[in-house]
Amino acid sequence: MKFRTELILPPSSRSIGHTDGVLLLGSCFSTNIGDRLQKYKFRCLSNPFGTVYNPVSISRLISMSAAGMKTDDSYLTFSSGIWVHPDFHSSLASSDRQQAVNQINQALQHVRKELQDTTYLFITLGTSIVYRWKKTDKIVANCHKLPTSEFTRESVSAQEGAGALAEAFAAVKKINPDIRIILTVSPVRHVRDGLVANTRSKARLFEMIDILEATDAAVSYFPAYEWLMDDLRDYRYYGADLIHPNDQAIEFIWEKFSSHYFNSDTSNLNMRIDKVLTGLAHRPFNPDTDEHRAFVSRLSTEIKELETRYPWLKF
């Protein structure tokens, strides 16, 4: 008897190795994957702009970075005691106006450097429902708790979203022609928009990806959404809010990500790294025993062997 509809994805034709650059942007699911890549010592940069959910804002940030653009304080606004920018997450805000500008420009410069030599650009799209700031008539990445009366709510069409992303990808390829782009849809439902509106929003995101896959050979899709919504399909895989996937679900999708993108050499190295990290996290009941000293010696030898063979590995 079968009790779930399993999604089986064959290994990718292009594997991801520890020395491949991976830049992750978008919703919090990109952060979830980025955290695990960083844990296993991959060369990656995870959500340097903070969480960004809609395709138009993600595209704008990519295009700005690729073009080497900077921002100034003309679009900054004061909200809840800090200076914020509508195109950027509050993690780049500051109580000092110039400091906020500096942090944003440093992030743009950092991402440009990553885009120039990274191997993979991993983007998680969260929603196609956006908010347009009446002051500038532009779609914003974050409303920063400003009054709702200052914004209009609307939906980005599949064609508009795909077009914005395509322009951003073209800008990136001017500085990195060989970049590979992995798109995914966040399994987190935006229930504040309503369940029906969320479903329609996700559908538009899927259509955007379909358009991009059909027109750009560098674009591929990773089905994180389907693994949670169709394969696991149970509220026991969600957190207490019943919206965000819990650690067990994220670990399940990470295993699927690993089996799809990692070859045997990468997987074996991950296992060795995991063993070292487990050893480093161990807290002995009595550190003055011969048994513990032998354990520390074995662990030290393993770390030295790994760092000698893989000089970029640092524990």
Residue 305 has pLDDT above 90, yes or no: yes
Distance CA 132, CA 150 (A): 8
pLDDT of 2 reads: 82
CA distance 196 to 125: 18
Please identify which residue in the block is written with the tokens 């027109």.
215
**Model confidence pLDDT, tens digit, residues 261-298:** 999 999 999 999 999 999 999 888 888 898 889 999 99
Take residue 192 and report the two structure tokens written for it: 């504040």
Whether the Cβ atoms of residue 200 and residue 249 lie closer than 8 Å to each other = no
Q: Report the alpha-carbon distance of residue 172 to residue 151 in Å, rounded.
A: 30
Residue range 33-62: average pLDDT?
96
- Using CA atoms, how far residue 95 sits from 80, 82, 100, 205, in Å, is 10, 4, 8, 35
Look up residue 196 and give its two tokens.
């029906």
In the predicted structure, residue 62 carries a pLDDT above the cut 90: yes
- Sort 79 into a burial class: Cβ within 10 Å, 0-12 / 13-18 / 19+: middle
Strands 138-140 and 129-133 turn out to be antiparallel
CA 226 from centroid of its chain's CA atoms: 17
Instruction: Note the pLDDT of residue 286.
Output: 84
- Cα(265)–Cα(257) distance, integer angstroms: 15
Compute the distance between CA of residue 52 and CA of residue 30 in angstroms, rounded to an integer.
10
pTM of the model: 0.94
Q: Chain-wide mean pLDDT for the chain? A: 95
pLDDT of residue 4: 86
Q: Please name which of 229, 277, 283, 224 lies closest in space to residue 254, comparing C-alpha atoms.
A: 224
